[in-house]
Copies of this chain bind each other. A is one copy, B any other.
Amino acid sequence: MARLPEYLRALHNLAETGHETVSSEGLANAAGVNSAKLRKDLSQLGSYGTRGVGYDVGLLIDQIEYVLGLTQRRAVVLVGVGNLGHALAGYDGFASRGFRIAALLDADQELVGEEINGLVVQHIDDLPQVAAEESIAIGVIATPAAAAQRVADQLVAVGVTSILNFAPCVLSVPEGVDVRKVDLAIELQILSFHEHRKASLTALPAAGGSALTALPGGLAVTESQEAIGT
């Protein structure tokens, strides 16, 4: 389930603040989900909560980390050390959440050799050597969209089976390779859509305006955590 990482983060917070057990309601609150949903998710893991008490925080962390495959620190290669790539390379969230940047790659010879956060940028053509030295599980693409497909092909060619793509384009990959996309513009446009919807609703509370303004109510947008109480 895609919610497991969110639970994990909430659990780590709880562990740091000294909690040894959590109720499903407490954890659900911290993760911003329904408590029944959380219990159902956790029961899928075969997890052991104790009725009347709750879940053991430490045990649950271990369980979720195991299921997510975080018991081994996975190696990540970052391709494209530009504007965004720099920020990602300097991000400590990689290391603290179970990942390790194995290499920084770029096609720009000007960048090759530059050191960022203790890592030296290598040329993209060195990817095969990098992959030969250690098993790369995940590739992160932070190149312009025009180069993304080519980079993806190169990653797949050296055995990468999971790709996180920041370029605004769809990638074609063979079966068995997972791709997840993060697109800032899409997020903003979804928010803009909600803005537009809210504006229309407040402007015309009762009757509908133009044919287009009066959308057949309630277009759903998944993954939005709208209005989590105060």
Contact = CB atoms under 8 A, between A and B. Distances in A.
A83 interface: yes
A31 interface: yes
Contacts of A67: 193, 196, 212, 215
Interface string A61-91: 0010011111000101000000110111011
B223 A223 contact: yes
A118 interface: no
B172 A180 contact: no
Interface in A184-204: 184-199
B178 A98 contact: no
B188 A227 contact: no
Which of the listed residues A186, A220, A230 has the most CB atoms from chain B within 10 Å of its own CB? A186
Interface size class, chain A: 35 or more
A52 interface: no
A132 to B, nearest CB: 19
Given A188-B97, A223-B2, A223-B222, A137 B216 contact: no
Contacts of A194: 162, 178
Nearest to A137: B195
Given A63-B212, A196-B68, A91 B87 contact: no
Given A178-B194, A229-B172, A199 B69 contact: yes
Given A69-B192, A173-B228, A180 B223 contact: yes
Interface stretch (A103-111, A120-128, A163-171): A163-171
A48 B27 CA distance: 47
B178 A30 contact: no
Given A178-B194, A193-B68, A212-B66, A32 B227 contact: no
21 contacts: A1-B220, A2-B221, A6-B170, A6-B186, A44-B216, A46-B211, A67-B193, A69-B192, A69-B197, A70-B192, A74-B195, A83-B87, A83-B90, A83-B91, A84-B87, A97-B188, A99-B188, A161-B198, A175-B227, A177-B227, A180-B224
Interface of A: 1-2, 4-6, 8-10, 30-32, 44-46, 63, 66-70, 74, 76, 83-84, 86-88, 90-91, 93-94, 97-99, 137-138, 161-164, 168-199, 211-212, 215-216, 219-230
